[in-house]
Structure 1
Amino acid sequence: MSITDQELRDLVAGLAVSQAKTDAQMLKTDAQLAKTDAQLAKTDAQLAKTDAQLAETAAQILKTSTKVDKVAEMYGGVSNNQGDVAEEFFFNSLKANLTLNGIKFDHINKNMTRCNNGSEGEYDIVLINGKEIFIIEVKYKAHQADLDRLLNQKAPTFDILYPEYQNYIKHLGLASFSINDVLKRRALEKHVTVLQRKGELIESIAA
């Protein structure tokens, strides 16, 4: 079958139009790909910026945490030192005169510790004679929790840890450089002697 010149011209013209459309579509696709690449590059940059910010935040948190730990350590050290000073003062004062509330004692113990039958306890100062024993809790600044611990934990546990003193008359004391009037009254109501520092001496208020 032969093709006329006109049909050939129409076919060539059609192919040219089709190619032009294809070229235009490819240009459009290339533009979209370029736009997508630009968006991806922008996203990568934003992610990199976010990673840098997160790293900076993590570093700041670590720095802050280190400072907090250091402050806590310093505060804990100060608190422990204050407690040691209070214990040393009351121990040395009582050691120099083994008489408390008119009772003469034979010897004094500091930081008396024992484990027995699954129980464990430490007692700051303990005065002992042949028939009586004085258990003293020492705090730089006394709080209600210290009085509660002495009455509800330390005193009952003492008989378990030291059965050899079960038949002794027991006295309890709360010694502190600082104790408010409300706590002092509560201690005395519970028959706990209050010992306070008065200059270089001990002032005791018998229960």
Structure 2
Amino acid sequence: MERRRAIIIAAVVVVIAAVIGAVIAITRSSHDPSTRAAVPPSTPDNGADSPSAAPADSVPQVIEPDELAAAHRVMRDYLITIGTYTSSTDSKAWTAKARELTDGSPSMAEQTTLPTGRTWAECVRTKCSSTATADLTRDTVISNAPVDGAGRSVTTLASTTVTLSQARSTTQTTEFAITASYADGTWKISSLQLSKVGDAGMPEAS
């Protein structure tokens, strides 16, 4: 009986010793860098749909830069032209030149005229002169309908500053949404929408 008890106690001691040894081995391995799995360094997650994640050349240009520049040039030319004249300006020649910059539509022809009526009479009486500058703020719509190269158009927010010298001189800034369309190998103004008329500047003695 005593011998059996001694055998059982010895077996229990062996089991406990084995368990303790295993725990010690596991603990040591968890603190040993050589036994850890390699973890890749974290990187910012831009996401597949993030614009910054895609290379720049993967985004197709709607209109080539030189074509866009040509559209902007005709916009500036038109805005400066319609705001620049004097009391001695030849109406027929001025109108023909200004309308050459448009697509020839009735709406653009109606908008592309010198002042008329009392405004023009006052200009002639005071020997007025008007000068303009144009500033293109930003493009709002750029389209390129794939129809034999036609259908290209650019709409831009723009402003003109017109200085009118009469008995007194005033300066006024007006904002527009202006559209240039491509047809027959050239850019033409196809729309001019008034956006905002600023207050006239303080008059100065001429």
TM-score range, shorter chain: 0.3 to 0.5
What's the TM-score once normalised by structure 1's chain length?
0.35
Larger Rg: 1
What's the TM-score once normalised by structure 2's chain length?
0.35
- Which has the larger share of strand? 2
Larger RCO (CA under 8 A, 6+ residues apart): 2
